[in-house]
Amino acid sequence: MNRDYLDKEALQGALNDAVIKALLNQEGALANYIPELERVDPNKTSIAIKFPSGDILMAGDAKDHYFTLQSVAKMIVLAGLLEEEGAEKVISWTGMEPTGRAFASISQLEKFGPVPANPFVNSGAIALCNRIPGSQVEDKLQWLTHWTEKLFGAPLPVNQEVFESEYRTGDRNRAIAYLLKSNGVLRGDVDETLRVYFTLCSYQANVMDAAHLPMLLANGGRDVEGRQILNSSTCKYIIAVMATCGLYDSSGSHLVHTGMPAKSGVSGLVVAVALGHAGVATSSPRLDSKGTSIRGEIMLKSLSKALNWHFAS
């Protein structure tokens, strides 16, 4: 799978260049709709690349910069359900079309509904959280723990402050969930589903942790020891949805400019799949108006250009 010879020095140079370009940019603002997300240091900036060989390269504040996964974690529930329930069922629970709208858009549910447009808008991820097997919240959280460990190669802690902050202020997501319930898409208790969803968003990692899942995807679902963690069909599905829907209404320009299917989160994390090469994770909390990390995109563009990691090259 790995089509190119890895010259570590050249790679490290590309990473360093990417971080330097990013640090020169001071634009953007912290996400402000979850109080806890506003407390982070706005200057933290880090990048890591993980190769199927197990090699990891990094630059910036990679080791000591922790953040919550936020929407990047939507990949966990999607992957787990694709593996356990199959694509056909997942498609019946949420579509796979870009919306041309923001991540928490409610209008799109009235327009496209009853089923959410794709698994990466909030409504889609909430609908999937509702389908996690288990009769109680604890069972579903256990399922999440299991899959998170599988997909990131190690357990990730839940940031309880962020969870409480999201739970306390998550009225827009409550509105989405009740609308899904009203549409007949969401079954059972709304509050329980939201507790699962808010927990999902609150997993905590640094970029070295975060680069594991995109590495798996870049490597056909196999981990560094060659074990098949995800089926090839699951990888194709997820990567394709990342390509078209991963950055909401910036997905198109992201794909043109970087060629690396990616998923962003409002904490400033972006994970990206360098197809045939490696998994990439960047993190920096200042966001543009569409909720994407500005420095993250700068790093990914720089890297894609330097290493010619565009999927269409």
Q: In the complex, what is the shortest distance from the CB of residue 258 to a copy of itself, in angstroms, rounded to a whole number? A: 9
Residue whose CB is less far from a copy of itself, 21 or 236: 236
Place of tokens 């009235």: 110
Q: In the complex, what is the shortest distance from the CB of residue 3 to a copy of itself, in angstroms, rounded to a whole number? A: 8
Does residue 178 carry a catalytic annotation?
Answer: no
Please tell me the distance from the alpha carbon of residue 240 to that of residue 75, in angstroms, as a whole number.
12
Q: Tell me the β-bridge partners of 158.
A: 203
Does residue 137 carry a catalytic annotation?
Answer: no
Residue whose CB is less far from a copy of itself, 26 or 178: 178
- Which tokens is 244 given? 């078209």
Please tell me the distance from the alpha carbon of residue 80 to that of residue 271, in angstroms, as a whole number.
18
Given the residues 44, 50, 74, 140, the one annotated as active site: 74
Q: In the complex, what is the shortest distance from the CB of residue 301 to a copy of itself, in angstroms, rounded to a whole number? A: 12
Alpha helices in 70-153 (DSSP H): 74-85, 87-93, 107-112, 122-129, 137-152
Q: In the complex, what is the shortest distance from the CB of residue 160 to a copy of itself, in angstroms, rounded to a whole number? A: 23
Please tell me the distance from the alpha carbon of residue 48 to that of residue 265, in angstroms, as a whole number.
16
Helix (H), strand (E) at residue 301: helix 294-307
- Which tokens is 250 given? 């910036």
Given the residues 115, 207, 241, 266, the one annotated as active site: 266
Given the residues 66, 203, 237, 248, the one annotated as active site: 248
Residue whose CB is less far from a copy of itself, 41 or 110: 110
For residue 57, the one-letter residue type is L
Q: In the complex, what is the shortest distance from the CB of residue 311 to a copy of itself, in angstroms, rounded to a whole number? A: 6
Does residue 203 carry a catalytic annotation?
Answer: no
Does residue 66 carry a catalytic annotation?
Answer: no
Given the residues 19, 46, 50, 71, the one annotated as active site: 71
Place of tokens 């912290």: 30
Given the residues 66, 167, 197, 203, the one annotated as active site: 197
Q: Is the dihedral of CA 17, 19, 23, 28 positive or negative?
A: positive
Residue whose CB is less far from a copy of itself, 205 or 272: 272
Q: Are 213 and 201 in contact (CB under 8 A)?
A: no
Residue whose CB is less far from a copy of itself, 9 or 313: 313
Does residue 162 carry a catalytic annotation?
Answer: no
Q: Among residues 96, 229, 88, which one has the least CA distance to residue 153?
A: 229
Residue whose CB is less far from a copy of itself, 85 or 145: 85
Residue ranges binding a copy of itself (CB under 8 A): 95-101, 105-112, 117-118, 171-172, 174-179, 181-182, 190, 217, 220, 232, 235-237, 239-241, 243-245, 249-253, 255-256, 259, 261, 273, 275, 310-313
Q: In the complex, what is the shortest distance from the CB of residue 236 to a copy of itself, in angstroms, rounded to a whole number? A: 5
Q: Among residues 248, 235, 237, 278, which one has the least CA distance to residue 260?
A: 278
Q: Which residues contact 68 (CB under 8 A, 6 or more apart)?
A: 37, 159, 162, 201, 202, 203, 204, 265, 267
Catalytic residues: 71, 74, 197, 248, 266
